[in-house]
Amino acid sequence: MAELSGQRSGCQKSWTVAAEPLWNSAVGRRGIPGRARQSPGGEGGGAGTQGPANLAPRSPAAAPRVWFVPDALGIVCASATWALTLSEGALLLSAWLLPAQQPAYSAVHGSLFHLLASLALASHARTMFTDPGALPAGAPPAPGLAGCCPLCGAVRPPGAHHCGVCQRCIRRAHHHCPWVNNCVGEDNRKFFVLFTLYTALGALHVILLLSVPALRAYARGEWDLRTPVRLRASLLFLFMVALNGFLFAGLMFTIQMHSILTDPQSQPGEPGQASAWTNLKAVLGPRPSPAWISPFASAGPRAASGPQAVV
């Protein structure tokens, strides 16, 4: 367990940042990695303290391996996401692919959908269980502390915001998403982008599988708008789940990409606005590679947006 002493700028106190166990709950003070405690030096900043200049940028490798937010709504929404995705795959096989009695057709489209669904669920799990970039919690809430969060006491760099659900300040926070039961921040944004991408692609695949044969039959004159329609409940449910998943995930993916590419905050130490390409590499990784679309590869170390503590 490593300790790093440092004097917090604007807080007029010396603090010791201590790394806690790897498993943690995002709510509460106990068990939070990077929890700040007052050093024996007190307000005088006794021996062994260091200034903020000695706080090194934090990389994803320094983040806790497991992060979990015990929020009831988030747990329900995240569980529903998995249940809908798994039921979508089961219904696609039982109600559409297997009854077609075309082995090659069923094998190709079944494999493609389950590949996309597996990547989506893997991305969802990485988003949910990855520390989004929580700043070390500091002093108890106190008024008039310049540069400190009044709720958790963390020193907030530009772009950091306090999340009322996680009860922590999150670096480069975008929003708290109940569907992944976590904040979307600096260290897990790549996984959230991939989750929305693969969810939208899988849902679009199902929509095309169900709609293209019907459109072809309409073009051949086999039915028209006056023809009575009899839909099986399973296929109707499958289509509605896929349609809602495509609209929701596609919209979220579009919002995320627009936010990333137009982020006005420059990289630390670089004047002016960062380019769209620089912003994209900051989220997905330093260079284009297959790791950009893999939920099993982290984005790698990135420059921190302000003073961070290594824990």
CA distances from 157 to 9, 18, 62, 267 (A): 12, 20, 18, 12
The single residue of 149, 166, 169, 177 carrying the catalytic annotation is: 177
Q: Is 177 a residue of the active site? A: yes
Both tokens of residue 73?
């709504």
- Provide DSSP, 185-208: -TTTHHHHHHHHHHHHHHHHHHHH
Identity at 134, one-letter amino acid code: A
Nearest Cα neighbor of 294 from 302, 281, 284, 303 is 284
First to last CA, the chain: 9
The dihedral over CA atoms of 197, 199, 200, 201, expressed in degrees to the nearest 10, equals 80
Both tokens of residue 196?
């929305």
Both tokens of residue 103?
């082995």
DSSP label at 291? G
Q: CA-CA distance, 49 to 57, in Å (whole number)?
A: 18
Q: CA-CA distance, 13 to 9, in Å (whole number)?
A: 8
Nearest Cα neighbor of 68 from 60, 78, 58, 59 is 78
CA 94 to the chain's CA centroid: 32
Catalytic residues: 177
